[in-house]
Structure 1
Amino acid sequence: MRIKFLSVIVSFLIVSFALSSCLDSDDNYEFSSDATIHAFGIDTIHGKHYKFTIDQLNRLIYNRDSLPVGSDTIIDRILIDTMTVTGWITSGSPTDTVFVMSDSVDLRPAMNNDAGMLFKAHAADGVTVREYKLKVNVHLQDPDSLVWTDMQKRGNIFSNTINLGQQKAVVLGDELFVYTSNSTAYKTSTAPDKYNWSKVNVSNLPSDVKLTSAVEYNNALYMVTESKRVFSSTNGGAWTEVTTLGDNVIVLINGFSDRLSGIVEINGKQYFNICKDGKNWEAENTADNLTLEEVPAGFPTENISTTQTNTGNGVEKVVLAGMPLANEQETIPWFSLDGKGWASLANTMYDTYCPGMDNPAIMYYGDMFYCFGGELDAIYSSITGIAWSKTETKFLLPQEFKGKGAYSIIVEPTKDKTVAPADKRDFIWVIFGGNGTKNEVWRGRLNRLGFEIQ
C-alpha cells in the first residue's frame, strides 16, 4: 500500500501543530535534518542474504556480490526488509508516494541498469531531502558452468599443416607457445583481446628432443632429450644446454613455485631430485653419495600433467598424472609436498577411482580436482584427488572434442591481486595437433572465475 505524499505531509504538520500548541510557547524544538539512508537490504534470494553497499558520496545503493542467474523472477515481487532512515522514504514516478516496508516491490527496473530506481530520503524536519539511486546487479551467466570458445572464430590457426610428429603447447609469461618440431614453434598472447599467432624460429634444440617434455619454471622453458640431456630457453626461441644438470635426466616435473622436481638415472635405477636455480641439482647426483629416494613402480615418466594446491596448513602441494598408466583400468594421481618424494593417491574402492585414460590432464580448478584425457568424452571430478566421479552437468567438454586425437592441455591461472574481470585468466587451453591430428585451439573457463567477486 502507498499513501499520497501530500496527505502525509499535511498529517505530519497537523500533528506537529497539535503538539506545539499543547506545550509551553517558550520551548523550541528542532527536528533532525538527517536525510540519510543508513542501511538497505532485501529479502533472501534462494535462502541467502545479499549485502548492499551505500555510496553516500554518490548516493548510490548497490550489491557487489551479484544475485544469481534467474533472480529476475524473484525480485519482481520482493520485500525491502531494511531501509534505515530518521524520517521517511518516498519513491515513484511521476508522483512521489511514501514507501511502505510491508509492501512487496518490483526491483526489475533496477536490475543491471545504471539509471536504477530512485528513492528519496526525507529528514524529520520535513525540509531536507536526499535522492538515492538503487542498482541491483544480477549475474547473466551461470557461475558454475564451464564455457568453451572455439578460437578459430577469434583468429587464424597457427598452422594449417598437419604435423605427423610430436607437438606440445606450453605457457611462458603471457605467451602461449606451440612447438611443432625442434626448429619451429608458434606463439600468441594469452590476453583475452590479443589472440594472434606468429611464427617463432627455434634454434639449438637437438633432433632427439622430446617436445612433450616441455615445462615452465621460473620464467624459463625446459625440455629433455632422448639422450637424457636438458635444454632451456628464456624466450622460447633460443635454447641452450644446461650441462650442469647432467646427461642422465629422465623427466622434469614442474608445479612447485620454488623448485623443479625431476627423475635422474643412476646405475640403471631412477631417483627423484630437485633443482631450485634451474641449473644444479640440490642433492649430489652420484652413486657414491646417494641420498635420493628411488622412483616407485608405476610412477609416470611421460606426458606428465601437474597441478598445484595447498594442504590445510597452507603447505604447497603438487599433484600429477601421466603416462604410462600403472594399469589400464585406473588413472592414478601422485602427490608431493617437496618434490623429493612422491606418494600414490591410488583408490581401491569400487567405482570411485578415476578411469584409465591416455595422456590424462589433471588440474585443481575452482576448488576441485578435475581429470580428463583419452577420447575426451568425459571429465572426472574429485574433492581430494582420491575418490572420483563423472561430471554430469555444467562442467563438461564440448561434443566437438570427442575422438579428435593428439592434444595439449594447459591451465593458465590468474595472476595474484588481479581484480578487473577483463584482466582475469584462469583459462583452460586445449590445443589439438601432432601425430596426424588437425590443428585446433579451444579455450574454456568456469564462468565465476571471470567475475570480479567470486
Structure 2
Amino acid sequence: MQFEKYKYMNKRLAASSLAALSIMLGSVVVSCNSDDDTNDYDIDTGYTPETMYSSTAITAFNLKADTKVLANLDSVFFTIDLEGQKIFNADSMPLGTDVRKLVPVIGTGGSSKIMIKYTDTEGNEKEEEYNSTSPDTISFSSPVKVTVTSLNETYSRTYTITVNVHNQKPDSLCWGDMAYSVLPAIRGAKDAVTVEKNGKVYCYSTDGTAWQRASADDPATPVDSWVRETVNFGFTPRLSTLTATDGDYYVLSDNGTLYSSTDGLAWSSTGKVWSWIYGAYESRVVGVAPDGAGYVHATCPEPQGYVASAVRADFPVGGTTRMLTFSSDWSSAPQGIIAGGHIANGNLTSAVWGYDGQAWNKFANMPQDAALDGMTIFPYYTFKTNTINWTVTKQSTIFAMGGRKADGSLSREVYISRDLGVNWHEADSLMQLPEQMESFAGARALVIPTVMHARSTSGGGWESVTLRRLPAWCMLDGFYGSRAVAPITEWDCPYIYIYGGENEAGNLRDIVLRGVINRFTYKPLQ
C-alpha cells in the first residue's frame, strides 16, 4: 500500500452555482414584445428575474467567535451546498462542544429577509428574522432551517444548516471493528506464513509432513472457500523467510539454500546460501549471507556489477521486521526499511535501517523496549486535528507491534512513526493490543482496502472480538471529511489482517485477526 498525501478541498464557490441558475432561468425568460417593450423588473428595480433569484443564495456562513464555546469557533469550516440547499461542517467539532447558544453569521448576495426556524433548548419550535447587525443566539442542537427571500420578495430558498459535533472523542486511536477467523491452513498445521502477490493472498502451511498453499482474491473470504493446492518443495523450507517479490517467490531451506519459484508451487535452487531474508525490493529479494566468520549483504537476482559488502557489527542478521517499501519525496528510488531483530553476537537491536536499492543506512532508533525479534510492521493511518479551523487530516503512519524480548516473553507494545520511520513513539493506550488479543511474534500483516457499504455487516465466518470495555469517548462516529454532493453509499476502508505468528510457547497461532480504526468504518458526512 503506497503512502499518499491528502489535502482538504477548498470551500465550494457559490459563483458557479449562481451562474448555472442564471443560465437556466435565462433560457426560459424570453421576451416576445416589440423593441419598445421592456421587462417590468427592469423598470421598477433595475434587476432581472435571474438576479432576483440569485439574491436568495447564501454565499457565506460561519459562527461568531465565542471562546467560552470553542477556541477559534469563527474559523470552523462550513460547506455551502447551493444545489442541495445544505450547509454543514464536515469535520465535526470536538466532543462536548455546546451548540445550544451560537450566533450565526449569514452572507447573501442581497436579500429582503432571512428567517430562521429552530428548536430551542426546551423543545419549542421558534421562528425569527435574522438581523445581521445584532443577530440573536440560536440553538443548533438539531438542524436549523433558514429561508432567504429575494430583494423583490418574489423568490425564496430554504437551507438546512447542521452543526456536527462528535458524540465521542474524535481523535482517540482505538481498535474498532475487530474480528478473527482461523488460518486457511492445512489441518493440524504446525507452521504457516501468508504473503500477498498481484492482488491475491496466499497462505502456505504444513502439518510437518505435507505442504499446502491456500489462495483467495479477498482475505475476508470464508476459510472453506479458499483454493487449496499441494506444494512439493523437494526440501524443508523455513516458512518464516518466504517472500513474494514483484517477480518471483523466494524462500530459504533449513540448510540456508535460497530457492525461487515463478508460480509459488514448483521450486528450484538458486545455488546461493543465505541466513536471512529481509523482504522484497521491487523484483529482487534482499537478505544476508554468511561469509567466513561474518556476514555480507545479499540480493537476488544480483544487478550487473553487484559486489557484496560486509555487514556492520550493529546490523541485524535475523529476526527483523519484513521489509516495508514506499516512495518518498527525498529519493527517486523506493525506500525500504526494516526494524529490530538481532545482530551477529545475538543481542537484540531497536535500530531502524533504510535501503535505497544499493546501500543500507541506519537512520533511526525505536524506543529501547522495541529491541525485539519478530516484530510485525505495516503502513496505515492516524488522524490529526487542526485546532485553528477544526479540520481533520489523515496521516500516513507506520505501525510496529508484537515480537519476542530477550527474556523470551512477548511484547504487547504498539509503536508508530508518522514520518516514514524517522521518529518513533509508543502509540496511544487505545491503539495498544486489546486484552483479548493474544501476544504474538513473527506474524505477517497485510493492509487491504475493503469497500464499505452504508449497511455493511460482518460475517463470512468471521467472529467478533469482544474488546475490553472502552471509555465512552473512544468509539469514533465521524469521518475525516467528505465534500461530495452525490449520496455516499460506499467508501474504501483499509482493514488490517494479522496472520498467524507464534505464541509465547513458540507454537503456531492458528488465527487471523482483522482490525480497523473505527473512524474509517463510519459513513462520510455530507
Fold in common (TM above 0.5): yes
Equivalent in 302, 326, 337 of residue 356 of structure 2:
337
Alignment root-mean-square deviation, CA: 3.8
Q: Which residue of 1 is the match for residue 427 of structure 2?
A: 391
Q: Which residue of 2 is the match for residue 124 of structure 1?
A: 151
Aligned in 2, Cα 1:156/1:329: closer, same or farther, shift over 3 Å?
A: closer
Contact 2:340/2:372 (<8 A) preserved: no
Unaligned regions of 5+ residues in structure 1, if any?
Answer: 1-26, 111-116, 285-289
Contact 1:62/1:135 (<8 A) preserved: yes
Aligned in 2, Cα 1:452/1:409: closer, same or farther, shift over 3 Å?
A: farther
Q: More relative contact order in 1 or in 2 (CA 8 Å, sep 6+)?
A: 2
Distance 1:353 1:270 in 2: 25
Q: Which residue of 2 is the match for residue 104 of structure 1?
A: 137
Aligned in 2, Cα 1:43/1:368: closer, same or farther, shift over 3 Å?
A: farther
Distance 2:331 2:162 in 1: 38
Q: Which residue of 1 is the match for residue 303 of structure 2?
A: 282
Aligned in 2, Cα 1:76/1:200: closer, same or farther, shift over 3 Å?
A: farther
Q: Which residue of 1 is the match for residue 278 of structure 2?
A: 253
| Residue 231 of structure 1 pairs with residue 300 of structure 2 | no
- The alignment's TM-score, normalised by the length of structure 1, stands at 0.72
| Residue 42 of structure 1 pairs with residue 111 of structure 2 | no
Q: How many residues align?
A: 395
Deviations 1:179-233 (A, max 9, x none): 22261234455466x4545252232323311111122322754323234122235
Note the C-alpha offset of 1:320.
0.4
SS in 1 for 2:436: helix
Note the C-alpha offset of 1:67.
0.8
Q: Which residue of 1 is the match for residue 492 of structure 2?
A: 423
Distance 2:201 2:127 in 1: 58
Identity %: 14
Letter in 1 for 2:83: L
SS in 2 for 1:92: strand
Contact 2:247/2:284 (<8 A) preserved: no
Distance 2:361 2:298 in 1: 15
Deviations 1:47-88 (A, max 9, x none): 47342222322323233x4214526x4333333234334113
Aligned in 2, Cα 1:363/1:436: closer, same or farther, shift over 3 Å?
A: closer
SS in 2 for 1:41: strand
Note the C-alpha offset of 1:314.
5.0
Contact 1:59/1:131 (<8 A) preserved: yes
Contact 2:186/2:205 (<8 A) preserved: no
Unaligned regions of 5+ residues in structure 2, if any?
Answer: 1-42, 119-124, 382-395, 405-409, 451-481, 483-487
Q: Which residue of 1 is the match for residue 377 of structure 2?
A: 362
Deviations 1:15-62 (A, max 9, x none): xxxxxxxxxxxx843465121111223357554734222232232323
Q: Which residue of 2 is the match for residue 61 of structure 1?
A: 87
Alignment of 1:123-272 (within 5 A): 123-138=150-165, 142-152=170-180, 158=184, 163-164=189-190, 166-181=191-206, 183-190=211-218, 194-197=221-224, 198=226, 200-218=228-246, 221-226=249-254, 227-234=256-263, 238-241=265-268, 245-254=270-279, 256-257=281-282, 259-264=284-289, 270-272=295-297
Aligned in 2, Cα 1:292/1:46: closer, same or farther, shift over 3 Å?
A: farther
Q: Which residue of 1 is the match for residue 437 of structure 2?
A: 401
Distance 2:63 2:266 in 1: 60
Distance 2:298 2:523 in 1: 40
Note the C-alpha offset of 1:107.
2.3
| Residue 436 of structure 1 pairs with residue 465 of structure 2 | no
Note the C-alpha offset of 1:410.
0.8
Contact 1:322/1:361 (<8 A) preserved: no
Contact 1:170/1:215 (<8 A) preserved: yes
Note the C-alpha offset of 1:106.
2.4
Aligned in 2, Cα 1:216/1:414: closer, same or farther, shift over 3 Å?
A: farther
293-302 vs 33-42, greater mean Cα deviation: 293-302
Aligned in 2, Cα 1:91/1:346: closer, same or farther, shift over 3 Å?
A: closer
Distance 1:444 1:195 in 2: 16
Letter in 2 for 1:231: S
Contact 2:416/2:427 (<8 A) preserved: yes
Letter in 2 for 1:124: L
Q: Which residue of 2 is the match for residue 8 of structure 1?
A: none
